[in-house]
Amino acid sequence: MASALTSPPPDPAAVRAPGVPDGHHHFLWMTGTWLVLMAVGEPIIYFVVGPHAPPGTMTSEAAGAQFDFYVLLMIALPVLLGVWIYLGYAIWTWRASRGGPEPVIGPHSWGHLGIEVGWILTTTAIVLGLFTFGTYELANADGAGGGQGANPLFTPAAHKILAVQVIAQQWLFTYRYPSFGGFETSQLVIPADTEIAFHVTSLDVVHEFWAYQLGVKADANPDYDNIAYTHTTDQLGDFTVRCAELCGIWHGAMYGTGQVMSVPDFMDWASSNEKVLAAATKLLPPFAWTYTPDANGADGGYYPDNRDPYSNVEIYGAQKANP
Amino acid sequence: MTIEAEPRVDQRRVEALRTTETGGGTPSPPLAPGLRKRRPAWMQQSVLTAVAGGIIGYLVGHWLGNLIASNYANVQGNGQNDVAISLALAFLVLGWLGGAGVLNNPLAKIFGRELPSGVPRQDWTRYFRFTLDHKVVGIQYLVAVFTFLFTGGLLAMGIRTELLTPTSHFFGPSTYIDIVGEHGTIMMMMASSVVVGPLGNYLVPLMIGSRRTAFPRVEASSLFVFCAGYFVILTALPFGGFPTGWTGYAPLQTQGAGGMDSYLIGFAVIGLGMILAGFNLVVTIIHFRAPGMTWGRLPIFVWSILATCALLTLATPTLVAAGLFGILDRTAQTAFFVNEHGGSSFLWENLFWFFGHPEVYIMALPGFGIVAELLPVFCRKPLFGYRVAAAGMLGVALLSFFVWQHHLFQSGIDPDMRPLFMLTTELISIPTGFIYLVGLGTLWKAKIRLEVPMLFCLGMFFNFLIGGVTGVFLSDVPVDVTVHGSFFVLAHFHYTIMGGGLFAFFAGVYYWTPKLTGRIMDHKWGKIHFWAMFVFFNLTFFPLFIVGLLGQPRRVFEYAGNLQIWNEFSSVNAFLLGASFLIFVGNFVWTIIINPRPSPDNPWESNGLEWQTPNPVPFFNFERIPIILDNPYHYGEPEPVAVADMGSGLVGAGVTQSTPQSARSSEPGPPL
């Protein structure tokens, strides 16, 4: 045993190969490469990727999400490049050559307090910065187009807000316009340059209303009014609507398009629909922010319906109507 | 006159108690005298009797359910009796456990009897039995998780086949949604135990210098419960599948066909197995460390298993309870998740993700542990910042309980909490980042040996970085409005779980198979496997980030035509990724089973305590409980450093190389 502990020390050349530059040298190489790639990559993100990043600029919320996306991309790039360059450089420079002297012994280093503390402080600073930025963008964009529940925390300052109710059911979306008599249609049409409040609810299971180009996404929960705000710009045209929460076998087929019209066109469309559909609207349940689902709708008749248990029973003592 | 009463002594019981193995003591003789003789191997309980028990249990449960509930619990529209299905599955699990012999000891204890104990039969049939040897359980778990992994992988091939074209279909939407749900659920079940089961159970006692785990019966039970979960989740297919995916959102859950019962019971059963496996290893790590194995000397892999098992023990009960609620909703007409009857669909979302987010770290943490354990060996350097690594794992484990509502940013629940959950989610990237500090620090001026396990570790660092950075995009609420529920999320968590966790698992498999089997896998084919898996993994999943950003929601069978080129590219590479696993299977089967290639005792020249035991590892692991003298990461010192006193001699860096195991002196070494 004693012989083991006093075995001959290894060749010093194995500890440090001749000609290997010191740490400073490596650091300069990595930083240099990093700076060059950053100088190429960051402008590409800002000028090329940024303006085309999803979800476009059809609403101010969408534009905000696009801005946030490429800001995060610009923050992510230095991290990705830094780690990749380090990994690549380390593998290239410090890989042990085959058939080298045995035993191979690397440098004796258990850590470096300065580097560890510096790393922790840097990542903490980045994270707190991201949090501040994200919260500001969330509040500034009135909830950033996301569903905020029935009592939104971030509400728009606009005086005129168009409320559109989104009713999800297996497997389609319909829309009601409470400002126009509460008519219901399967076409989603909204005016340009307007603050829109989507009130999203469901008649059966959980769906998710995703108007991609509007930057709007909100879960549709049964018996629950989930509000998402968006402010349309002057861009007119179609946008995509999809269900983004698995809602059964035809989930993949639950999509459609909506349209942004100019305000006069929208007023024509809405008021003519209000008149044309007036008879149908009378047959609908009166407009409400939520509709209690039919107990036998979602679950295939499993739960007992809330119906009058005596509806089929002849009322005691009632006179039979004469034929 | 007094009569001297003869004390009544049950001689058999005394003998049995005397020979009961008490852990840490000397091995018992093989068979206690006076106990009934062991039956021949083919008559003992094994997997075969377990299967028989499962089938009988299924039939009994189904009959019972129809007997008691066929009058009221037939589900309209699908003609199935949920009570019968649920009872059939519950009795299937019970029958499987009883048939395997899991219940023998508890039942014997109830009746005041003792089972024969001691060293069991050491022939090959022990791999097909309920056994108290943590090493056998580890091997059984390895086979089980690979079965899970390849089943889930085949289902993934099915998903990518359907997504080859936007509107024409290989499967109907119903079959497709079943495949999606089975793939997700099986993979999540597999990933929760992929490292803890095989590597954790096998290696932790060896790494901490213990002869066994704390509760060997609990450990072995967890394996059989885990396997029962596999059968239960597969029964969903004949029952009509389940339409909810692995997240099982209510009220779709209440609406689903009979397969939904399989999902709920399967997840609850797996959850039970996770709790059992977790708390056994937590207690083992806390109480069964060898003398001198202080917290500061614990191998970093054991730290990661400790953090993971703490999560398994504390987070999983929520899943079991949620599964029970779901089953009650479907059978006993409770309304936990039914809005119109006073329940809430948000309740399931909260319960599920309160488990579901720690679950994500249950899958990631052991991967961190493996790469941190392996890097020093292949860098010939000490682990950089050992304390930071351990603190990072515990920090991730703790914070993971406070992030779950980031899955519900747009759900409308509690909008005031969104900034808070954005903060906690971003904070968790700090301790996660520690693993990069440790990894990059260890690589600095190292002597990197690019062996197969090291390649997988480096691949993990590459992939997990992409997964982690895209996670920051998802935590940012405004960006999440675009990417939530899209293929972006899907690509993100495949990069973390598969690119991170599974790559680390394969690093561990290549690294530790010489310990587990005494045989070593082929290096050349290992490298081919790595490069194929690494390249095709990235080519499969990177395009899916773009697909998600361009507006494709998850779990759809139809998508926009302009996304076809991206989906086709991903699908073709997914098939090649699937094929890369065949390289691994071929390599494994050929070099480990068919044409065994014997391995040196310590092929990677590791200082880890697990490599200091002879191969095959004796039944009680260590002839004497070792005394730990130092941590195992002394790779950078020219002088030999002893890390443990094995009783038969010192072992450690530079020590083993000059003292082969057979030639070690039996006298204890000098104090260091």
CATH number of the domain encompassing residue A221? 2.60.40.420
What is the number of domains present in chain A?
Answer: 2
Find the CB nearest B445 among A107, A251, A299: A107
Backbone φ and ψ for B498, nearest 5 degrees, come out as -80, -50
Report d(CA A262, CA A192) in Å as an integer: 5
Which structural domain range is residue A262 located in?
161-283
Contact B426 A127 (CB under 8 A): yes
Instruction: Answer yes or no: is pLDDT of A155 > 80.
Output: yes
Contact B473 A212 (CB under 8 A): no
What's the confidence (pLDDT) of residue B73?
60
How many Cβ atoms from other residues are within 10 Å of residue A97's Cβ?
Answer: 10
Q: What domains can be seen in chain B, in order of their start residue? A: 43-115+124-130 (no CATH), 131-594 (1.20.210.10), 615-663 (no CATH)
Q: Which residues of A touch B553 (CB under 8 A)?
A: 210, 242-244
Find the CB nearest B557 among A72, A205, A252: A252
Selected residues 590-609 of chain B with any CB under 8 Å from a CB in chain A: 605
* A306 domain-assigned: no
* A292 domain-assigned: no
Q: Which residues of B touch A133 (CB under 8 A)?
A: 476
Residues A200 and A87 in one domain: no
B607: which 2 tokens?
A: 């200082």
Q: What is the DSSP string of B174-219?
A: HHHHHHHHHHHHHHHHHHHHTTIIIIIHHHHHHHHT-SS-S-HHHH
| Residue type (1 letter), B588 | F
Residues A132 and A31 in one domain: yes
Find the CB nearest B555 among A7, A130, A246: A246
* A203 domain-assigned: yes
Residues A195 and A242 in one domain: yes
Residue identified by tokens 């191997």 is B41
Contact B482 A293 (CB under 8 A): no
Provide the shortest C-alpha distance from residue B244 to chain A (in Å).
6
E-state strands within chain A: 161-169, 172-177, 183-185, 188-191, 195-202, 207-211, 216-220, 226-231, 237-243, 255-261
| Residue type (1 letter), B579 | A
B231: which 2 tokens?
A: 């059968």
Q: CA nearest B81 in A: which residue? A: A302
Residues A168 and A275 in one domain: yes
Residues A190 and A254 in one domain: yes
Residues A199 and A126 in one domain: no
* A48 domain-assigned: yes
Residues A35 and A68 in one domain: yes
Q: What is the DSSP letter of B660?
A: -
How many Cβ atoms from other residues are within 10 Å of residue B612's Cβ?
Answer: 26
* A312 domain-assigned: no
Q: CA nearest A143 in B: which residue? A: B478
Selected residues 544-563 of chain B with any CB under 8 Å from a CB in chain A: 549-551, 553-560
What's the confidence (pLDDT) of residue B33?
45
Contact B478 A137 (CB under 8 A): yes
B523 at interface of A, judged by CB pairs closer than 8 A: no
B164: which 2 tokens?
A: 């080859």
Selected residues 72-91 of chain B with any CB under 8 Å from a CB in chain A: 75-78
* A304 domain-assigned: no
* A305 domain-assigned: no
Strands A183-185 and A172-177: antiparallel
Maximum pairwise Cα distance, chain A? 120
* A242 domain-assigned: yes
Instruction: Answer yes or no: is pLDDT of A303 > 80.
Output: no
Instruction: Answer yes or no: is pLDDT of A5 > 80.
Output: no
Q: Name the pLDDT band for A12 (thresholds 50, 70, 90).
A: very low
Residues A191 and A236 in one domain: yes
The ipTM is: 0.85
Contact A135 B667 (CB under 8 A): no
Which of these three, A107, A141, A175, is where a domain ends? A141
Nearest to B315 by CA among B433, B228, B391, B399: B399
Q: Which residues of A touch B254 (CB under 8 A)?
A: 298-299, 302
What's the confidence (pLDDT) of residue B597?
86
Q: Which residues of A touch B450 (CB under 8 A)?
A: 91, 95
At CA B526, angle to CA B520 and CA B531, rounded to 5? 165
pLDDT < 50: residue spans in chain B:
1-2, 20-29, 31-35, 657-672
Backbone φ and ψ for B13, nearest 5 degrees, come out as -70, -40
Residues A135 and A224 in one domain: no
Backbone φ and ψ for A142, nearest 5 degrees, come out as 55, 50
Q: CA nearest A25 in B: which residue? A: B445
Determine the 3-state secondary structure of B118 from DSSP. Answer: coil
Report d(CA B206, CA B202) in Å as an integer: 7
Q: Name the pLDDT band for A8 (thresholds 50, 70, 90).
A: very low
pLDDT in tens, A51-81: 888 888 899 999 999 999 989 999 999 999 9
* Burial category of A125 from C-beta neighbours within 10 Å (exposed 0-12, middle 13-18, buried 19 and up): exposed
Report d(CA B660, CA B69) in Å as an integer: 68
Q: Which residues of A touch B419 (CB under 8 A)?
A: 131, 134-135, 138
More confident residue, A100 or B542: B542
pLDDT in tens, A156-173: 887 788 999 999 988 899
Mutate to test the interface with A, among B447, B449, B470 (most CBs of A within 10 A): B447
Q: Which residues of B touch A244 (CB under 8 A)?
A: 484-486, 553-554
Question: Edge-to-edge strand order for the sheet containing A207-211?
Answer: A188-191, A255-261, A237-243, A207-211, A216-220
Contact B429 A217 (CB under 8 A): no
* Burial category of B165 from C-beta neighbours within 10 Å (exposed 0-12, middle 13-18, buried 19 and up): middle
Q: Cβ(A69)–Cβ(B483) under 8 Å? A: no
pLDDT in tens, B426-449: 999 999 999 999 999 999 888 888
Residues A217 and A259 in one domain: yes
Overall residue count recorded for chain B in this entry: 672
Contact A72 B473 (CB under 8 A): yes
Contact B444 A143 (CB under 8 A): no
B309: which 2 tokens?
A: 């098992």
Find the CB nearest A68 among B341, B476, B637: B476
What's the confidence (pLDDT) of residue A1?
35
Find the CB nearest A217 among B410, B433, B669: B410
Provide the shortest C-alpha distance from residue B170 to chain A (in Å).
15
How far is CA B555 from each of CA A204, B72, B153, B237, B307, rounded to the nearest angstrom?
A: 19, 34, 16, 18, 32
How far is CA B266 from each of CA A13, B93, B271, B273, B277, rounded to the nearest angstrom?
A: 59, 10, 8, 11, 16
Residue identified by tokens 């006179």 is A319
Residues A137 and A237 in one domain: no
Q: Which residues of A touch B663 (CB under 8 A)?
A: none
Residues A130 and A195 in one domain: no
Find the CB nearest A109 among B174, B382, B605: B382
Provide the shortest C-alpha distance from residue A320 to chain B (in Å).
35
How far is CA B112 from each of CA B16, B109, B120, rounded to the nearest angstrom?
A: 12, 5, 22
Find the CB nearest B446 among A94, A112, A145: A94
Nearest to B329 by CA among A291, A201, A298, A293: A298
Rounding to the nearest 10 degrees, give the CA dihedral for residues B204, B210, B212, B218: -60
Q: Which residues of B touch A86 (CB under 8 A)?
A: 440, 443
Strands A226-231 and A195-202: antiparallel
Find the CB nearest B249 among A5, A131, A206: A206
Q: A233-253: buried (b, 16+ CB within 10 Å) or exposed (e) per residue?
A: eeeeeebbbbbbbbbbbbbbe
